[in-house]
Structure 1
Amino acid sequence: MTRILRSFAEVSAIYDLALVDLWGCVHNGEDIYPAAEAALIAFRKGGGRVILVTNAPRPEAGVRARLDEMGLSPDAYDAIATSGDAAQQGMLMGAVGTKVWHLGPDKDDGFFTDLPDWAGEYPAIERVSFEDAEGIVCTGPFEELTETPEDYRGRLLAAKARGLKLLCANPDIVVDYGETRIYCAGAIAQLYDQMGGESLYFGKPHPPIYDLARRHAQRIGVAFAEDRIIAIGDGIQTDVKGGMAEGVDTLFITGGLAAEEFGPDVEHPEQALLDAWLTKEGQSPTYAIGRLR
């Protein structure tokens, strides 16, 4: 049975490394959660290290800049591993060809311009029209606040007919932007798969982003044993499923995407409701908590 915690501090001493989700765990797209920030700072003061592991479809520099704008203390984390970085590596190595059509908002242009030093070792990637594309790079809908995956069904049917692969830079299905729920690239990729197309995934719960996070940990000198790593987040099929697949302990934030499932008090999920819902989802996190604190 998943143990419900009142605070991360109840168990944090047994972990050296925390792989922490951002959206729904540390912020809501608009504001930082002060209690979550304080919990991460306390964990680091106690000797722990924090890698922020996010399905954001942008390279690390862009995510770091946005966190700075939102006011997240640099004392709350050590490094950032993004789905954008992991997916960018796949793109540069030719996973969907060298001529690609970008399906996503302008804010994600950094995916194509903020390139690693080694990018020159591979053929250049060219953004082209849909008609000229060898593959698709999807970072989300063009209009995140209003569009749904169904708005792209016709274009995806045409892509399937041409045998185009779709590189999904963010496997999340939805996130809550303040009080508004918006669709992510993962929802479009999921629809493409259902239609018989082929999508490639690099963020949570898939292995590439965890490999990237471990490399970040090694780069900053973290010596860790697998049984002293914990993955934290509110996505049961991304954060929790991915952490479990990696063989590490997991802390499920119930007050995020599925908050309405666990009773009227978002800070105190009800055990019976949680157990029943986790059984339905087929996941068994080590711990759960209303919000990270």
Structure 2
Amino acid sequence: MSQRIQSFRDIASQYDVVLCDVWGVLHNGVEAFSHASEALAVARAAGLTVVLITNSPRPHPGVKVQIRGLGVADDAYDRIVTSGDVTRALIADGPKNIHFIGAEKDLALLDGLGVEQVALEEAEIVVCAGLRDDEAETVEDYREEMAKLAARKLPFICANPDLVVERGHRLIACAGAIAKLYEDLGGTTRIAGKPHRPIYEKSLAEARDVRGAFNHSRVIAIGDGMPTDVRGAEAFGLDVLYISGGIHAQHYVEAGRTDEAKLEAFLAQENAHPKWWMPRLQ
């Protein structure tokens, strides 16, 4: 059974490197969780190296600007690695005529890769960063488009494997939900972000660049997403601190309190074994 902790300080001495999720742990898309930034800053002051590991489709410079604007402190981390960073390698290695799905703000994903955006009928590959308008659209709005692309058997690169994220008190669909629809329609996807290995390998390489060599057993991953943060870190052999107050809270939180029996049942159902848990990082 996972152990409840009151403060990250309680376990920090057991680790040298922290791989911390961003959306859902450090902010909710509207404002930063100040206690979470403070916890990471205190850990860094104690000698730990903190790499933020996020399924954002944006390359890391854009994420740094975004989270600073939300109130995440610069001293909370050493490096940022995004799904967009590792996905760019997939795009660079693929065909150059792409059908892009996503908002205009996500176009930095394609910068400098020599690709051309073309109409659906002319595309050789699909690159999806998210919904074009996630405030107004749902994944079902993409069914007809995905059916046409899947019928052509085009490879589909997903730049953000998350199914949903919190935005304030709402859950917003992400590119991972469109990728799932594409797979359900018989299409094939390519993904490098969480829970897949490339983003973890890149994150640990960044940590080594900061501090030098370290033991794999002294790395902890922090996250709130079961299919991405938890499953990915566990598959990579890392200890996990599960942030229970995130996107899955409806399964075990009632009237603002965590029902620990329901939480345990949820983790068992998900075949997840985080070493630690706490409602919010602090």
Shorter-normalised TM-score: what interval?
Answer: over 0.9
Aligned counterpart in structure 2 of residue 100 of structure 1, from 98, 101, 125: 98
Task: Tell me which residue corresponds to 2:261.
Answer: 272
Task: Tell me which residue corresponds to 1:252.
Answer: 242
TM-score (norm 1): 0.93
- Superposed, which structure 2 residues align to 1:39-118 within 5 Å? 39-94=39-94, 97-113=95-111, 115=112
Structure 1 unaligned spans of 5+? none
Q: 1:222 to 1:31 in 2, by over 3 A?
A: farther
2: distance between equivalents of 1:245 and 1:229?
13
1: distance between equivalents of 2:235 and 2:214?
18
- SS of match in other structure, 1:231: strand
Contact 1:49–1:222 under 8 Å retained in 2: no
2: distance between equivalents of 1:232 and 1:40?
11
1: distance between equivalents of 2:212 and 2:104?
36
Question: Letter of the aligned partner of 1:86 in structure 2?
Answer: V
Contact 1:205–1:242 under 8 Å retained in 2: yes
Aligned counterpart in structure 1 of residue 117 of structure 2, from 124, 127, 152: 127
Task: Tell me which residue corresponds to 1:283.
Answer: 272
Contact 1:57–1:108 under 8 Å retained in 2: yes
Contact 2:3–2:276 under 8 Å retained in 1: yes
TM-score (norm 2): 0.97
Contact 2:34–2:71 under 8 Å retained in 1: no
2: distance between equivalents of 1:42 and 1:215?
23
1: distance between equivalents of 2:280 and 2:212?
26
Q: 1:38 to 1:227 in 2, by over 3 A?
A: same
Q: Is 1:216 matched with 2:206?
A: yes
Determine what percentage of the aligned residue pairs are the same residue.
40
How many pairs align?
282
- SS of match in other structure, 1:204: coil
Q: Is 1:156 matched with 2:146?
A: yes
Task: Tell me which residue corresponds to 2:182.
Answer: 192
Moved more, 197-206 or 69-78: 69-78
Task: Tell me which residue corresponds to 2:15.
Answer: 15
Moved more, 67-76 or 56-65: 67-76
Contact 1:52–1:79 under 8 Å retained in 2: yes
- SS of match in other structure, 1:131: helix
Contact 1:4–1:271 under 8 Å retained in 2: no
Shift of 1:265: 5.8
Contact 2:49–2:210 under 8 Å retained in 1: no
Task: Tell me which residue corresponds to 1:292.
Answer: 281
2: distance between equivalents of 1:126 and 1:185?
20
Question: Letter of the aligned partner of 2:59 in structure 1?
Answer: P
Contact 1:168–1:185 under 8 Å retained in 2: yes
Per-residue displacement from partner, 1:155-178 (whole Å, max 9, x unpaired)?
A: 111111111011000000001111
2: distance between equivalents of 1:157 and 1:241?
29
- SS of match in other structure, 1:171: coil
Question: Letter of the aligned partner of 1:49 in structure 2?
Answer: T
Contact 1:3–1:288 under 8 Å retained in 2: yes
